[in-house]
Amino acid sequence: MMPYTVKPLNRSAPTLRIDKIQVLVVVGGERAANLIKSIFEQLGFRNLMVAFDPDEAVAMMKEVIIDLVVTDAEIRAAALHTDQEEGAPAEPEFISGVELVRHLRTSPTSPNPYVPVIMLVNQATVKTILSARDAGVSEMVLKPINAADFCMRLIHVVDHPRAFVTAETYKGPCRRRKQTALHPGQKDRRTREVILHRHTHRWQNGTF
């Protein structure tokens, strides 16, 4: 007869499985994609996908559950075709990463409106920052790319995700960096449903 053993309960803290986090990198070319992929690999990420245009990115997101998107602010592509009239000629143009994020956040056909997005931006102008923020970008990394800044933004997105706001004029992570009390009579637009979403990132609840 086999000796009877009692297996102790595993009470250790849940571990973060970086290797299971699915990252989608959206950039215009192979060389930039390879560099960003190398950075992620160096940090321990293993599930990395690359898209070279927004249409490809959206198509990939419909196939695979993506946990994090890193997109360039400038992407070479034809405009997203969803709003185009049927039969109208496709006019290729430079579309910005901001438009991709806006599409992800607000389009009824979006594969995941809640996905955290880090955007690589060229200039820290007020216009650039406001348009990215209002489109629903989670974090921005200013070019020239720097490892410390990139990692800091990455940690912020994963470890301290902001509550998600769904309002008439905005959909995306809460734009308030500082949590201040509401004014009397002011309504909190962060819904319970989406606040809960913040706590259910796949890599945090051990559902892998």
Partner 1 sequence: MMPKLANHITPEKIEECQRLIDTSREGFFDDIDPILTSLRNMTVSEKLTDKQTEAMGAAAADIQSHASLFGYQLIAALAGQLTALLASPRFEGERKARLVKKYVEALVMACQQRINDSGGAVGALILKDLAAATAK
List residues near partner 1 by CB under 8 A.
13-16, 18, 27-33, 35, 38-39, 42-44, 52, 72, 74, 76, 78, 89, 91-94, 120, 122, 143-148, 150-151, 154-155, 158-159, 204
CA distance 149 to 39: 12
Got the DSSP string for 63-99?
A: HS--SEEEEESEEEEEPPGGGSPTTPPP-EEEEEHHH
Which CB, 40 or 110, lies closer to partner 1? 40
Min. distance of Cβ 126 from partner 1 in angstroms? Answer: 19
Which CB, 74 or 134, lies closer to partner 1? 74
Question: In whole angstroms, how far apart are CA 207 and each of 16, 21, 48, 192?
Answer: 11, 11, 19, 21
CB atoms within 10 A of CB 128: 18
CA distance 176 to 102: 18
Quote the tokens at residue 152.
Answer: 């800091």
Min. distance of Cβ 67 from partner 1 in angstroms? Answer: 12
Min. distance of Cβ 6 from partner 1 in angstroms? Answer: 27
Which CB, 29 or 188, lies closer to partner 1? 29
Which CB, 15 or 169, lies closer to partner 1? 15
Min. distance of Cβ 77 from partner 1 in angstroms? Answer: 9
